[in-house]
Amino acid sequence: MPLIDLIRREMTTKPMTMLVIAALAGVSNALVMAIINTSSSLADEKVDLRTVALFGIVVAIYILSQRRMMQITAIEVEEIIHRLRRGLIETVARSDLLPLEQIGRSNILAGLIRDTQTISQAANILVIAAQSVILIALAMIYILITDRTAFWLSTGFIAIAVFLVVRRLIDLRNKYPMAMGKENLVFQSMRDVLDGFKEVKLSAARRDALLEDMVVVSELARDAKADLQVKSGNEFVFGQTMIFLLLGVVVFLVPSIGDTKPEAVVQTATAILFIVGPLGMVIQAVPVLAMANAAADNLSRMDQTLREIAAASATATTTAVTPLTQFDEIRFDGITFAYAPVGGVAFGVGPFDLTVRQGETIFITGGNGSGKSTLVRLLVGLYYPDRGMLRLNGQVVDRHFYDSYRSLFSVIYADYHLFRRLYGITPPSAEEFQALVTLMEMGGKVALDKDVFDTIDLSSGQRKRLALMVSMIEDRPILVLDEWAADQDPQFRRKFYRELLPLLKARGKTVIAITHDDRYFDVADRRIAMEEGRVVAIVEREAATGGEDVE
């Protein structure tokens, strides 16, 4: 079972230790039953202080062992989930972009959040169920000693009941993955609403259509999970019914087919009553085990898929990464790339024959869908070419060198993520940071405490300025900007093109910018024009058009 395999593989506490503690809890629980049963049959005699003391000792052992078992289980399960979650996140970080895009962020997040939570919530129930099995076994031994007829009838009845319950739960187990799949679609719809909130807010038609689709998806998830819960409830009722029938067998049938003494019937019935709770817990744990097992299986498959992705990527190499601080030339020799076909239609780019030299300012232009972003992802090493060669200073860049190659680039994408901390970046001095604040006209907007910004709750344009400040602090040789100036006001847009880009060039930085601002094309040393995934023109520095932005 995937859940058992996961626990056995990841557990640090020795299984024998867990078994001994669980046995102590089960045996002490059974002894409580035996002492009470024995004492009740001697009601006409005086209270035996030794029996009372033994009862107190047994209860103390049960309390200590049960608490210790629950403590170990909680710590172990949460530690297992922590390691599993950390491993999945590390594997994601080491994977390539394209296959992760194909898996989908919603599926990964659902696994990391929902499936780990399912296992965590199931842990204590499963431990109690395991102890209940021990208690039931010991109670059956007690019944065997008390009356053989009651034992064989009870054992046979319990075996039949367990067979029927397990058989009925097979369908339940198969329904859980389907319910998870429906819930993943709900995660995707929620991401559409949150990530595309501005677009949704601007279009009532889009909002209504999205909400209508989300309601349909949520109803499918509701029906699937409700069906799962109803069947779980039905199985619990069925199991409880079997327990009541078992009690009836002991009370009504046993005396009629044997020479069982009345006191033996009472003791057997008491033992059955004593294990009603544990039997109910075992029955209740079966659907919980099915759900936790499915969650563990889902996590294991996702972990295997991500590991295969990471193993196939350059970032999976165990060799140390040597950051590059300078370069002379990057060259594309006949590079092509194509996405996996969608609906029988595949989009490809190339072949590209391009050269990027140190210190150049290059603009990339073209309409939507022309392949600009794909070209940039190939350039910075997020996508691997299907054909052709990527060369750095004349040397072919193979996949084992991609980590070092990527260290040349600092990138601000159109859908960039702004971190609140300077992860992996040495913080600047107070004077250096203040100079950047002044340069970006961010005075009074943001401050840096060691490596943490006091806020990133800024306007879109200010967030991009802060992202550019981070890139300048990072100080990599090549800066790639995807429509960076689109969110800036006209005055700062002009400053960006007329002051910041020349400043970066003077500092020896290579700047590659995707832009539509044709009035500033003269700033670039070269402009690469794209259409339908191809480079249609490479234009050397153009004369200024004079069409500057006005305040």
d(C-alpha 335, C-alpha 378), whole Å = 9
Structural element, H or E, at residue 181: helix 148-195
Structural element, H or E, at residue 351: strand 348-357
Query: Percentage of residues in the chain with pLDDT exceeding 90?
Result: 23
Q: What are the pLDDT digits (tens) for 498-520?
A: 999 999 999 999 999 999 898 99
DSSP-derived 3-state class of residue 23 = helix
Query: In the predicted model, what is the mean pLDDT of residues 46-56?
Result: 78
Closest residue by Cα to residue 134 from 275, 239, 336, 252: 275
Q: What are the pLDDT digits (tens) for 270-315?
A: 777 777 777 777 777 777 777 777 777 777 777 777 777 766 654 4
Provide the pLDDT for residue 344: 61
CATH 1.20.1560.10 domain residues, the chain: 2-316
Identify whether 427 is preceded by a cis peptide bond (ω within 30 of 0): no
Which residue's entry shows tokens 């401050």? Answer: 447
* Per-residue confidence band for 551, with pLDDT thresholds at 50, 70 and 90: very low
What's the CATH fold of domain 2-316? ABC transporter transmembrane region fold (1.20.1560)
Query: In the predicted model, what is the mean pLDDT of residues 428-437?
Result: 92
Residue 489, pLDDT > 60, answer yes
Give me 472's structure tokens: 């300048």
Provide the pLDDT for residue 549: 58
Provide the pLDDT for residue 87: 76
d(C-alpha 17, C-alpha 37), whole Å = 30
Assign residue 509 a region: left if phi > 0, alpha if psi is -120 to 50, beta otherwise? beta
Provide the pLDDT for residue 201: 65
Query: In the predicted model, what is the mean pLDDT of residues 57-67?
Result: 87
Q: Please indicate whether residue 177 or residue 144 has the higher confidence score (pLDDT).
A: 144
Considering only 36-45, 126-135, 240-249, 321-330, which range has the smallest mean pLDDT?
A: 36-45
Query: Percentage of residues in the chain with pLDDT exceeding 70?
Result: 82
DSSP-derived 3-state class of residue 329 = strand
* Per-residue confidence band for 392, with pLDDT thresholds at 50, 70 and 90: very high
Q: Per DSSP, what are the bridge partners of residue 482?
A: 514
CATH 3.40.50.300 domain residues, the chain: 329-540
Rounded (5°) CA angle 378-382-383: 55
Ramachandran angles phi, psi of 422, nearest 5°: -85, 70
d(C-alpha 65, C-alpha 68), whole Å = 5
* Per-residue confidence band for 493, with pLDDT thresholds at 50, 70 and 90: very high
Which residue's entry shows tokens 């040597």? Answer: 322
Provide the pLDDT for residue 134: 79
Rounded (5°) CA angle 231-237-241: 140
Residue 7, pLDDT > 90, answer no
Q: Per DSSP, what are the bridge partners of residue 355?
A: 331
DSSP-derived 3-state class of residue 385 = coil
**Structural contact between residues 385 and 336, judged by C-beta atoms closer than 8 angstroms:** yes
Mark 281-292 as b/e (b = at least 16 C-beta within 10 Å). bbbbbbbbbbbb
Q: What are the pLDDT digits (tens) for 174-210?
A: 666 666 667 667 766 776 676 666 666 666 777 777 7
DSSP-derived 3-state class of residue 484 = helix
* CATH of the domain spanning 329-540, picked from 3.30.70.1400, 3.30.1490.20, 3.40.50.300, 3.40.50.20: 3.40.50.300
Query: In the predicted model, what is the mean pLDDT of residues 75-79?
Result: 80
**DSSP letter at 320?**
P
* Per-residue confidence band for 524, with pLDDT thresholds at 50, 70 and 90: very high
Provide the pLDDT for residue 248: 78
Query: In the predicted model, what is the mean pLDDT of residues 162-175?
Result: 66
- Average predicted confidence (pLDDT) for the chain: 80
Query: In the predicted model, what is the mean pLDDT of residues 464-492?
Result: 92
Provide the pLDDT for residue 42: 55
Provide the pLDDT for residue 314: 46
DSSP-derived 3-state class of residue 448 = strand
Rounded (5°) CA angle 76-77-83: 90
